[in-house]
């Protein structure tokens, strides 16, 4: 199985080799890109507003942001499906502006798969190979190989209408990987699936991407998905990038309060303020507290009132109004015996888990 | 820049493939435009000019003269009255049918749905003959005394257009989210209030759309009115024919053609508006949420009074209006002056009593089939190209507007009367544009005229199928390396091909039965089957009438066979008018 990631995409620039050692100038370079979005009623909005991003060969970058943040527009612009109003998009240093979609050698996987209903599973996976005029025998072997990779052995002759949602997305993934795109763009590929399936498939997608050494940009609005799939995460909002960082760094060192809020942090301690045992890190930095940052301690320094309690997948969540901080969620393992869990209105004392407190860069 | 590429990328690249793409799309736009320009705009335009211009100067005396005739006003009044009454009754009868065939499930529903469409494609002359045999003094409904009356004409118009209402409204109805009705019922509304306060308002766009198109068909009815109306009842359409063929008053005919254009433009405008509203209304409902319709229950706890009424109305329509005329023709075609037998069919190999015809009916049948074949090829090629171009969604606003305009332009022949087309051919295609050639003698003239009439139907069959292709499917193909041409070949074509069978069948059926244009253009030595039937019923003698009935059965069977073959090829697509 040729998992070397070398692109055979149709019309791809020859000499685009597989695993360059250095990231400089290689891979995808997005520079100051502006994308306008024209609505059906003729109004124009700026979806991407002067954004720059680099993706090294073999790297998987997640574009994380709330809906409407311009993630999909950026992805479509990279694919060539959306015109770029300003800025450049380059691959290995070569501007792709003049290259039409079908010659870019970039794959794109849609949220809802967009499988060809008039072709069976094998016909769908083979489509890109047919366009690249890959010989039949080789095509068949590659289709089998890809179906094995996505866990759909023997599905070749199945009608795509008979597939479940998860199976369809697996076929869509196999289809976009088949021609060995030099870059794979994934547009919320798991959003339409239910939670359990989404979590399992996120792992499978990561495995498939690393096994094939595919360079990928993965758009999602779900942090867990981004953390599960990506080498680096780019947080996007209102058409701009707020932060690009490895998952752990992003989680522990969010670049701004906006990023921290988007990641789910609930309360902030800033400057020199002193709340309980917590001291603001410095005059500029901010401490961010989220679910898991506080735990109940009989002699903890913080005092709060329980507002509500909830139960979620093996954990009990207490929303506590902490004096001087505001509402913070306290998470603890749930017990079969609910006695001992404070009810709404009860006062609790809390301690701080230092490792679970993020330091927001000024 | 190709429309496909425009729709997808907007990224311009000056490459050879692109240039080829431009040329291809230019051809796809230019070929149908040229066809319609020469064979529709030119004849109709010439005709209109003839009404306004005499001896090279603007001259409106033709108008004042024609409009000062009481006969003209009577004809215009009759046209509007027939169309209005015909439309109202079609809608009233069609609603229960749409409910039954699209909102209830029962065994044999598919068969009934297919049968209901039959009248729409039946040749007008056959329908005229059928209603005459039912309503004549010796016919099963002779006691009504409707033969040659306004009521008779309206009944035949309803016969034709019933299925238009059932299909247009039904197809919309089936996609309505039923939960709004459930909500009204849960809020305490009895079934009839649910219908009047929730269902009916929601259906209004579809009803308006169906009504305007039916009005159009009624206002431009020709063959059936000519056969049934006799000398007392006519429409603008038949009057154009009468003025041309009997009074040889081309000026009056031209003026009436202008009147007809105004009526048609008004109806088309209303139809277009209603269609827009209908499409917008549909976007609001999610089709995948529409659940399976409940089973029809006339007894037991699940029975509904509304269903019983719908079954009664639809049953009566089916038996009295749809089945009876057709059965009567079939039965009476077997009656001979001496009893029962196949004599009328045997006579189809002759030229009729007292040599009523110049060719045998079988020869005319052969002519009809040949002509229809040519017309079908032309209509499907032209209509297919139009549908392809119009289905594109270019990014540039100007281009998008151009596409919409093209869509509207190609719908014009659907409304503009076949008689106007035929008459226009006669007037305009002699030395067209000053060229020294007479297209009127071309053997392709009749196929071309019929293709002009059939093209809009082809467009309306193929277009919804092409439009339903998600633009992201094009994108998916493009990112997988498919050039615009290959996207067309591998994504659009497999989908469109499924609707092509129905388009072929419809075009063939329409040309087989086409009478309005053909009656002007058919040469005496090469008449088509509908022309022969019309000539036969105009001649005296029981033998000729019998032959006309037998020939009608043959034509009806041919049409039905073509349509049932087409239905087999169609795989769930349908014509959307």
Contact A98 B476 (CB under 8 A): no
Is B364 domain-assigned? yes
Tell me how far CA of residue A82 lies from CA of A35, A74, A75, A76, A200, in angstroms: 8, 8, 9, 5, 31
Answer yes or no: do B214 and B363 share one domain.
no
Contact A79 B481 (CB under 8 A): no
Contact A101 B9 (CB under 8 A): yes
Q: Which of A151, A143, A202 is nearest to A177 (CA)?
A: A143
Is B340 domain-assigned? no
**How many A-B residue pairs are in contact by the CB < 8 A criterion?**
95
Which residue of A lies nearest to B475 if distances are taken between CA atoms? Answer: A81
Q: What is the pLDDT of residues A171-200, one digit of tens each?
A: 999 999 999 999 999 999 888 888 888 888
Residues of A in contact with B480 (CB under 8 A): 102, 107, 127-128, 131, 175-176, 179
Residues of A in contact with B11 (CB under 8 A): 80, 83, 97-101
- Interface list for chain B against chain A, based on CB atoms closer than 8 Å: 5, 8-15, 18, 395, 397, 470, 472-473, 475-484, 486-487, 490-491, 494-495
Contact B491 A116 (CB under 8 A): yes
Examine the pLDDT at B268 and tell me if it is beyond 90: no
Q: Which pLDDT score, from 0 to 100, does residue B464 have?
A: 80
The number of residues making up chain A comes to: 362
Examine the pLDDT at A219 and tell me if it is beyond 90: yes
Answer yes or no: do B519 and B473 share one domain.
yes
**Mutation to test the B interface, candidates A39, A79, A83, A131, most B Cβ within 10 Å:** A131
A252 burial level (CB within 10 Å; 0-12, 13-18, 19+): middle
Q: Which pLDDT score, from 0 to 100, does residue B439 have?
A: 63
Tokens 């579809």 correspond to what residue? B206
Answer yes or no: do B506 and B563 share one domain.
yes
Q: Which tokens in the block code for residue B408?
A: 């509207």
Query: Can you tell me the distance from the alpha carbon of A306 to that of A347, in angstroms, rounded to the nearest whole number?
Result: 6
Answer yes or no: do B92 and B19 share one domain.
no
Per DSSP, B436 falls in state S
Among the residue ranges A33-37, A263-267, A293-297, B346-350, the one predicted with the least confidence is B346-350
Measure the CA angle with vertex B531, ends B527 and B532; round to 5°.
Answer: 80
Q: Which tokens in the block code for residue B3?
A: 């429309």
Answer yes or no: do B130 and B245 share one domain.
yes
Higher local confidence (pLDDT), B282 or A198: A198
Q: Which pLDDT score, from 0 to 100, does residue A21 have?
A: 35
Sorted by sequence, the CB contacts under 8 Å of residue A128 that are 6+ apart come out as A107, A175, A176, A178, A179, B480, B481
List beta partners, residue A106: A183
3-state secondary structure of A89: strand
To the nearest 10°, the Cα dihedral for B220, B225, B229, B232? Answer: 30
Answer yes or no: do B261 and B169 share one domain.
yes
Contact assessment for residue A167 and residue A197, using Cβ atoms and an 8 Å cutoff: no
3-state secondary structure of B109: helix
3-state secondary structure of A120: strand
Residue B540's domain is classified under what CATH number?
1.10.3720.10
Q: For strand A347-352 and strand A294-296, is the pairing parallel, antiparallel, or unpaired?
A: antiparallel
Contact A128 B486 (CB under 8 A): no
Answer yes or no: do B403 and B371 share one domain.
yes
Shortest CA gap A28–chain B (Å):
16
Instruction: Out of A97, A99, A114, name the one closest to residue B470 (CB).
Output: A114
The number of residues making up chain B comes to: 577
Q: Which tokens in the block code for residue B450?
A: 């019929």
Q: What is the mean pLDDT of residues A154-181?
A: 91
Q: Which pLDDT score, from 0 to 100, does residue B83 have?
A: 92
Answer yes or no: do B366 and B261 share one domain.
no
Q: Which pLDDT score, from 0 to 100, does residue A29 have?
A: 94
User: Quick one: pLDDT band at residue A125, thresholds 50, 70, 90?
Assistant: very high
Is B298 domain-assigned? no
Examine the pLDDT at A2 and tell me if it is beyond 60: no
Measure the CA angle with vertex B549, ends B548 and B551; round to 5°.
Answer: 65
Q: Which tokens in the block code for residue B455?
A: 């093209």
Q: What is the pLDDT of residues A4-32, one digit of tens each?
A: 434 333 433 333 333 333 345 689 999 99
When divided into structural domains, chain B yields a total of 2
Q: What is the mean pLDDT of residues B17-44?
A: 83
Q: What is the pLDDT of residues B237-264, one digit of tens each?
A: 888 888 887 888 888 888 888 888 888 8
Contact assessment for residue B508 and residue B26, using Cβ atoms and an 8 Å cutoff: no
Query: Can you tell me the distance from the alpha carbon of A110 to that of A131, in angstroms, rounded to the nearest whole number?
Result: 19
Q: Which of B275, B143, B153 is nearest to B206 (CA)?
A: B275
User: Quick one: pLDDT band at residue B573, thresholds 50, 70, 90?
Assistant: very low
Contact assessment for residue B161 and residue B84, using Cβ atoms and an 8 Å cutoff: no
Is B341 domain-assigned? no
Shortest CA gap A71–chain B (Å):
17
Calculate what percentage of chain B has a pLDDT beyond 70.
Answer: 89
Calculate what percentage of chain B has a pLDDT beyond 90.
Answer: 10
Instruction: Out of B481, B487, B494, name the one closest to residue A9 (CB).
Output: B481
Instruction: Out of A97, A105, A110, name the one closest to residue B11 (CB).
Output: A97
Q: What is the mean pLDDT of residues A206-229?
A: 91
Q: What is the pLDDT of residues B118-153, one digit of tens each?
A: 787 788 888 888 888 888 888 788 788 788 788 889
Contact B482 A131 (CB under 8 A): yes
Q: Which of B481, B1, B15 is nearest to A98 (CA)?
A: B15
Is B328 domain-assigned? yes
Shortest CA gap B491–chain A (Å):
7
* Domains of chain A with bracketed CATH: 28-252 (3.40.50.300), 259-360 (no CATH)
B328 alpha carbon, distance to own chain's centre = 24
Q: Which tokens in the block code for residue B233?
A: 């009842």
Shortest CA gap A240–chain B (Å):
22
To the nearest 10°, the Cα dihedral for B35, B36, B41, B42? Answer: 10
Is B387 domain-assigned? yes
Is B327 domain-assigned? yes
Q: For strand A86-91 and strand A28-38, is the pairing parallel, antiparallel, or unpaired?
A: antiparallel
Q: Which pLDDT score, from 0 to 100, does residue A306 have?
A: 92
Sorted by sequence, the CB contacts under 8 Å of residue A351 that are 6+ apart come out as A277, A294, A295, A296, A297, A300, A301, A302
Residues of B in contact with A175 (CB under 8 A): 480
Contact B475 A101 (CB under 8 A): yes
Instruction: Out of A81, A108, A116, name the one closest to residue B9 (CB).
Output: A81
Examine the pLDDT at A75 and tell me if it is beyond 60: yes
Cite the DSSP H helix spans in A106-164.
121-131, 136-149
Which residue of B lies nearest to A39 if distances are taken between CA atoms? Answer: B395
Query: Can you tell me the distance from the alpha carbon of B118 to that of B506, in angstroms, rounded to the nearest whole number?
Result: 11
Taking each continuous run of H as one helix and of E as one strand, the counts in chain B are: 27, 4
Which residue of B lies nearest to A109 if distances are taken between CA atoms? Answer: B476
Q: What is the mean pLDDT of residues A62-82?
A: 90
Packing angle between helix B250-283 and helix B200-219, nearest 10 degrees? 160
Q: Which pLDDT score, from 0 to 100, does residue A9 have?
A: 39
Query: Can you tell me the distance from the alpha carbon of B141 to that of B143, in angstroms, rounded to the nearest whole number?
Result: 5
> Following DSSP, what letter does each residue of A219-271 receive, concatenated?
EES-HHHHHHH-SEEEEEETTEEEEEE-HHHHHHS-SSHHHHHHHT--EEEET
**Mutation to test the B interface, candidates A40, A100, A176, A186, most B Cβ within 10 Å:** A100
Instruction: Out of B473, B482, B483, name the one closest to residue A114 (CB).
Output: B473
Residues of B in contact with A118 (CB under 8 A): 494-495
Q: Which pLDDT score, from 0 to 100, does residue B226 have?
A: 85
Is B477 domain-assigned? yes
Which residue of A lies nearest to B12 if distances are taken between CA atoms? Answer: A98
Shortest CA gap B445–chain A (Å):
39
Q: Which residues of B514-525 are buried (b: 16+ CB within 10 A; e: fewer)?
A: bbbbbbbbbeee
Q: Which pLDDT score, from 0 to 100, does residue B371 have?
A: 93
Sign of the four-CA dihedral A241, A243, A245, A250: negative
Examine the pLDDT at B555 and tell me if it is beyond 60: yes
Q: Which pLDDT score, from 0 to 100, does residue A248 have?
A: 92
- Interface list for chain A against chain B, based on CB atoms closer than 8 Å: 9-11, 38, 42, 79-83, 97-108, 110, 114, 116, 118, 127-128, 130-132, 175-176, 179, 181, 185
Q: What is the pLDDT of residues B448-476, one digit of tens each?
A: 989 988 888 888 888 888 888 888 888 99
Q: Which pLDDT score, from 0 to 100, does residue B373 have?
A: 94
Contact assessment for residue B420 and residue B261, using Cβ atoms and an 8 Å cutoff: yes
Examine the pLDDT at B385 and tell me if it is beyond 80: yes
Query: Can you tell me the distance from the alpha carbon of A127 to that of A326, in angstroms, rounded to the nearest whole number?
Result: 55
Answer yes or no: do B139 and B250 share one domain.
yes
Answer yes or no: do B137 and B120 share one domain.
yes
Q: What is the mean pLDDT of residues A106-116?
A: 88
Which residue of A lies nearest to B493 if distances are taken between CA atoms? Answer: A118
Q: What is the pLDDT of residues B386-409, one digit of tens each?
A: 888 888 877 777 888 888 888 777
Contact B479 A81 (CB under 8 A): yes
Answer yes or no: do B88 and B28 share one domain.
no
Q: Which of B372, B471, B9 is nearest to A103 (CA)?
A: B9
Note down the domain range covering B379: 1-59+346-577
Shortest CA gap A82–chain B (Å):
5
Answer yes or no: do B402 and B323 share one domain.
no
């Amino acid at each position: 199985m040729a998992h070397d990631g070398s692109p055979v995409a149709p019309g791809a620039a020859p000499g685009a080799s597989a695993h360059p050692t250095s990231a400089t100038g290689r891979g995808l370079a997005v520079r100051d890109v502006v994308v306008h979005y024209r609505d059906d009623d003729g109004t124009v909005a700026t979806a991407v507003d002067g954004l720059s991003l680099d993706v090294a060969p073999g790297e998987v970058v997640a574009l994380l942001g709330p809906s409407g943040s311009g993630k999909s527009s950026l992805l479509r612009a990279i694919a060539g499906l959306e015109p770029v109003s300003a800025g450049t998009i380059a691959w290995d240093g070569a501007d792709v502006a003049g290259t039409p979609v079908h010659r870019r050698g970039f794959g794109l996987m849609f949220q809802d798969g967009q499988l060809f209903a008039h072709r069976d599973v094998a016909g769908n996976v083979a489509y890109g190979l047919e366009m690249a005029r890959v010989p039949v025998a080789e095509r068949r072997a590659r289709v089998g190989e890809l179906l094995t990779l996505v866990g759909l052995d023997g599905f070749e002759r199945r009608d795509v209408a008979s597939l479940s949602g998860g199976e369809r997305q697996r076929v869509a993934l196999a289809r976009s990987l088949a021609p060995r795109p030099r870059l794979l763009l994934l547009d919320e590929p798991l959003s339409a699936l239910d939670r359990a399936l989404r979590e399992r498939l996120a792992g499978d997608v990561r495995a498939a991407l690393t096994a094939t050494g595919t360079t990928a940009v993965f758009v999602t609005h779900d942090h867990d998905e981004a953390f599960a799939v990506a080498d680096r995460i780019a947080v996007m909002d209102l058409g701009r990038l707020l932060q690009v960082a490895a998952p752990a760094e992003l989680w522990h060192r969010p670049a701004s309060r906006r990023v921290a809020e988007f990641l789910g942090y609930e309360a902030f301690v800033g400057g020199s303020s002193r709340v309980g045992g917590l001291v603001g890190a410095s005059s500029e930095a901010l401490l961010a507290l989220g679910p898991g940052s506080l735990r109940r301690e009989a002699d903890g320094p913080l005092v709060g009132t329980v507002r509500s309690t909830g139960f979620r997948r093996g954990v009990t969540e207490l929303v506590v109004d902490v004096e001087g901080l505001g509402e913070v969620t306290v998470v603890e393992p749930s017990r079969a015996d609910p006695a001992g869990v404070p009810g709404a209105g009860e006062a609790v004392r809390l301690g701080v888990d230092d490792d679970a407190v993020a330091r927001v860069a000024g | 820049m190709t429309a496909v590429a425009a729709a997808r990328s907007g990224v311009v690249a000056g490459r050879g493939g692109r240039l080829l793409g431009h040329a291809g799309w230019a051809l796809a736009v230019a070929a149908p435009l040229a066809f319609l320009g020469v064979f529709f705009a030119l004849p109709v335009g010439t005709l209109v000019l003839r009404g306004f211009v005499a001896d090279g100067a603007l001259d409106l005396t033709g108008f004042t003269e024609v409009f000062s005739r009481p006969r003209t006003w009577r004809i215009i009044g009759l046209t509007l009255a027939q169309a209005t009454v015909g439309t109202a009754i079609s809608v009233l009868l069609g609603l229960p049918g749409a409910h039954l065939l699209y909102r209830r499930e029962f065994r044999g529903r598919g068969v009934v749905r297919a049968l209901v469409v039959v009248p729409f494609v039946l040749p007008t002359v056959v329908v005229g003959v059928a209603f005459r045999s039912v309503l004549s003094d010796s016919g099963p409904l002779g006691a009504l005394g409707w033969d040659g009356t306004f009521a008779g004409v309206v009944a035949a118009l309803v016969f034709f257009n019933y299925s238009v209402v059932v299909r247009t409204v039904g197809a919309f109805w089936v996609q309505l989210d039923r939960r709004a009705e459930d909500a009204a019922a849960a809020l305490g509304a009895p079934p009839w209030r649910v219908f009047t306060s929730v269902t009916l308002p929601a259906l209004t766009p579809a009803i308006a759309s169906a009504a305007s198109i039916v009005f159009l068909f009624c206002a431009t009815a020709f063959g059936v009115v000519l056969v049934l109306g006799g000398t007392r009842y006519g429409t603008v359409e038949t009057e154009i024919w009468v003025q041309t063929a009997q009074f040889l008053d081309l000026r009056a005919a031209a003026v009436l053609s202008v009147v007809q254009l105004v009526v048609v433009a008004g109806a088309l405008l209303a139809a277009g508006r209603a269609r827009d509203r209908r499409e917008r209304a549909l976007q609001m409902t999610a089709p995948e949420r529409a659940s399976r319709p409940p089973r029809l229950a006339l007894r037991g706890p699940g029975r509904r009074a509304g269903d019983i009424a719908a079954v009664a109305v639809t049953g009566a329509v089916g038996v009295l209006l749809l089945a009876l005329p057709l059965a009567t023709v079939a039965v009476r075609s077997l009656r001979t002056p001496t009893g029962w037998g196949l004599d009328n069919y045997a006579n189809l190999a002759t030229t009729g009593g007292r040599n009523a015809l110049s060719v045998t009916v079988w020869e005319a049948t052969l002519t009809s089939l040949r002509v229809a074949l040519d017309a079908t090829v032309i209509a499907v090629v032209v209509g297919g190209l139009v549908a392809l171009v119009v289905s594109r969604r270019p990014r540039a606003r100007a281009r998008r507007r151009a596409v919409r305009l093209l869509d509207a332009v190609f719908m014009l022949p659907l409304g503009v009367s076949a008689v106007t087309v035929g008459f226009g051919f006669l007037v305009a295609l002699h030395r067209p544009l000053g060229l020294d050639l007479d297209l009127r003698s071309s053997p392709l003239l009749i196929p071309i005229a019929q293709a002009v009439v059939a093209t809009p139907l082809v467009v309306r069959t193929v277009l919804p199928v092409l439009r339903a292709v998600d633009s992201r499917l094009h994108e998916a193909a493009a990112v997988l390396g498919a050039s615009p041409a290959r996207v067309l070949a591998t994504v659009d074509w497999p989908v469109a091909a499924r609707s092509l069978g129905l388009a072929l069948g419809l075009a063939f059926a329409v040309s087989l039965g086409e009478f309005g244009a053909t009656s002007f253009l058919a040469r005496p030595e090469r008449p088509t089957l509908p022309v022969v039937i019309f000539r036969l019923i105009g001649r005296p003698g029981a033998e000729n009438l019998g032959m006309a009935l037998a020939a009608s059965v043959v034509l009806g069977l041919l049409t039905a066979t073509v349509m049932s073959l087409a239905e087999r090829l169609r795989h769930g697509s349908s014509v959307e008018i």
